[in-house]
Structure 1
Protein backbone atom coordinates (compact mmCIF):
# COMPACT_ATOMS: atom_id res chain seq x y z
CA UNK A 1 0.00 0.00 0.00
CA UNK A 2 1.35 3.42 -0.94
CA UNK A 3 0.37 6.49 1.07
CA UNK A 4 1.49 10.11 1.06
CA UNK A 5 2.04 10.43 4.82
CA UNK A 6 5.77 10.40 5.65
CA UNK A 7 5.48 10.14 9.44
CA UNK A 8 5.27 6.36 9.74
CA UNK A 9 6.32 4.80 13.04
CA UNK A 10 6.43 1.00 13.34
CA UNK A 11 5.37 -0.59 16.60
CA UNK A 12 3.25 -3.25 18.24
CA UNK A 13 -0.39 -3.08 19.32
CA UNK A 14 -0.48 -3.47 23.09
CA UNK A 15 -4.17 -2.95 23.74
CA UNK A 16 -7.46 -2.20 21.99
CA UNK A 17 -10.11 -0.49 24.09
CA UNK A 18 -13.50 -0.76 22.39
CA UNK A 19 -16.20 1.81 22.99
CA UNK A 20 -19.72 2.04 21.62
CA UNK A 21 -18.58 3.13 18.15
CA UNK A 22 -14.87 3.98 18.46
CA UNK A 23 -11.87 1.98 19.60
CA UNK A 24 -8.62 3.30 21.07
CA UNK A 25 -5.69 1.35 19.65
CA UNK A 26 -2.56 1.65 21.80
CA UNK A 27 0.68 1.13 19.87
CA UNK A 28 4.05 0.73 21.62
CA UNK A 29 6.72 2.46 19.54
CA UNK A 30 9.80 1.54 21.55
CA UNK A 31 8.81 2.36 25.10
CA UNK A 32 6.40 5.17 24.24
CA UNK A 33 2.73 4.65 23.46
CA UNK A 34 0.73 6.29 20.68
CA UNK A 35 -3.06 6.05 20.85
CA UNK A 36 -5.17 6.08 17.70
CA UNK A 37 -8.95 6.52 17.75
CA UNK A 38 -10.59 4.58 14.94
CA UNK A 39 -14.02 3.08 14.34
CA UNK A 40 -14.86 -0.37 15.67
CA UNK A 41 -15.68 -1.30 12.06
CA UNK A 42 -12.10 -0.44 11.01
CA UNK A 43 -10.67 -2.55 13.84
CA UNK A 44 -12.73 -5.51 12.63
CA UNK A 45 -11.99 -4.98 8.92
CA UNK A 46 -8.23 -4.72 9.59
CA UNK A 47 -8.39 -7.65 12.04
CA UNK A 48 -6.34 -5.66 14.56
CA UNK A 49 -5.26 -7.61 17.64
CA UNK A 50 -3.02 -6.99 20.64
CA UNK A 51 0.49 -8.35 20.10
CA UNK A 52 0.41 -7.77 16.34
CA UNK A 53 2.73 -5.33 14.53
CA UNK A 54 1.24 -2.06 13.32
CA UNK A 55 2.39 1.24 11.89
CA UNK A 56 1.28 4.54 13.42
CA UNK A 57 0.83 6.89 10.45
CA UNK A 58 0.61 10.56 11.36
CA UNK A 59 -0.66 13.09 8.85
CA UNK A 60 -1.38 16.56 10.14
CA UNK A 61 -1.43 20.01 8.61
CA UNK A 62 -0.46 21.61 11.95
CA UNK A 63 1.67 20.56 14.86
CA UNK A 64 1.44 22.64 18.03
CA UNK A 65 4.26 22.54 20.56
CA UNK A 66 4.10 23.80 24.14
CA UNK A 67 6.84 24.07 26.72
Structure 2
Protein backbone atom coordinates (compact mmCIF):
# COMPACT_ATOMS: atom_id res chain seq x y z
CA UNK A 1 0.00 0.00 0.00
CA UNK A 2 1.33 3.45 -0.91
CA UNK A 3 0.11 6.63 0.75
CA UNK A 4 0.69 10.32 0.14
CA UNK A 5 1.11 10.98 3.87
CA UNK A 6 4.76 11.49 4.72
CA UNK A 7 4.48 10.62 8.40
CA UNK A 8 4.13 6.84 8.48
CA UNK A 9 5.34 5.66 11.87
CA UNK A 10 5.79 1.90 12.37
CA UNK A 11 4.96 0.35 15.70
CA UNK A 12 2.78 -2.18 17.45
CA UNK A 13 -0.47 -2.00 19.36
CA UNK A 14 0.35 -1.63 23.06
CA UNK A 15 -3.21 -1.28 24.36
CA UNK A 16 -6.81 -1.17 23.17
CA UNK A 17 -9.67 0.42 25.08
CA UNK A 18 -12.78 -0.43 23.06
CA UNK A 19 -16.02 1.38 23.85
CA UNK A 20 -19.51 1.17 22.39
CA UNK A 21 -18.74 3.30 19.32
CA UNK A 22 -15.06 4.31 19.46
CA UNK A 23 -11.79 2.79 20.59
CA UNK A 24 -8.57 4.24 21.95
CA UNK A 25 -5.53 2.61 20.35
CA UNK A 26 -2.14 3.06 22.01
CA UNK A 27 0.70 2.47 19.53
CA UNK A 28 4.23 1.85 20.81
CA UNK A 29 6.44 3.31 18.09
CA UNK A 30 9.51 1.42 16.83
CA UNK A 31 11.66 4.54 17.34
CA UNK A 32 10.50 4.97 20.93
CA UNK A 33 7.55 6.79 22.39
CA UNK A 34 3.84 6.24 22.11
CA UNK A 35 1.03 7.64 20.04
CA UNK A 36 -2.67 7.42 20.91
CA UNK A 37 -5.40 7.37 18.27
CA UNK A 38 -9.17 7.32 18.65
CA UNK A 39 -10.87 5.37 15.86
CA UNK A 40 -14.23 3.68 15.43
CA UNK A 41 -14.93 0.29 16.95
CA UNK A 42 -15.79 -0.93 13.44
CA UNK A 43 -12.31 0.10 12.23
CA UNK A 44 -10.72 -1.93 15.03
CA UNK A 45 -12.72 -4.95 13.86
CA UNK A 46 -12.03 -4.36 10.14
CA UNK A 47 -8.28 -4.00 10.74
CA UNK A 48 -8.16 -7.00 13.07
CA UNK A 49 -6.36 -4.94 15.71
CA UNK A 50 -5.09 -6.71 18.80
CA UNK A 51 -2.37 -6.05 21.35
CA UNK A 52 1.00 -6.85 19.81
CA UNK A 53 -0.14 -6.45 16.19
CA UNK A 54 2.25 -4.56 13.88
CA UNK A 55 0.68 -1.32 12.62
CA UNK A 56 1.55 2.03 11.09
CA UNK A 57 0.44 5.31 12.64
CA UNK A 58 -0.21 7.55 9.64
CA UNK A 59 -0.37 11.30 10.25
CA UNK A 60 -1.73 13.59 7.54
CA UNK A 61 -2.20 17.14 8.73
CA UNK A 62 -1.98 20.64 7.39
CA UNK A 63 -0.89 22.04 10.76
CA UNK A 64 1.38 21.00 13.59
CA UNK A 65 1.39 23.13 16.71
CA UNK A 66 4.39 23.50 19.03
CA UNK A 67 4.10 24.86 22.57
CA UNK A 68 6.40 25.62 25.47
CA UNK A 69 5.84 26.52 29.13
Q: Which residue of 2 aligns with 1:10?
A: 10
1:23 aligns with 2:28: no
Q: Which residue of 1 aligns with 2:51?
A: 50
Unaligned runs of 5+ in 1: none
Aligned to 2:9, the other structure's residue is in SS state strand
Distance in 1, Cα, partners of 2:7 & 2:62: 12
RMSD: 0.9
Unaligned runs of 5+ in 2: none
Q: Which residue of 1 aligns with 2:65?
A: 64
TM-score, normalized by length of structure 2?
0.91
Distance in 2, Cα, partners of 1:19 & 1:33: 21
> Structure 1 stretches (4+) deviating beyond 4 angstroms?
none
TM-score, normalized by length of structure 1?
0.93
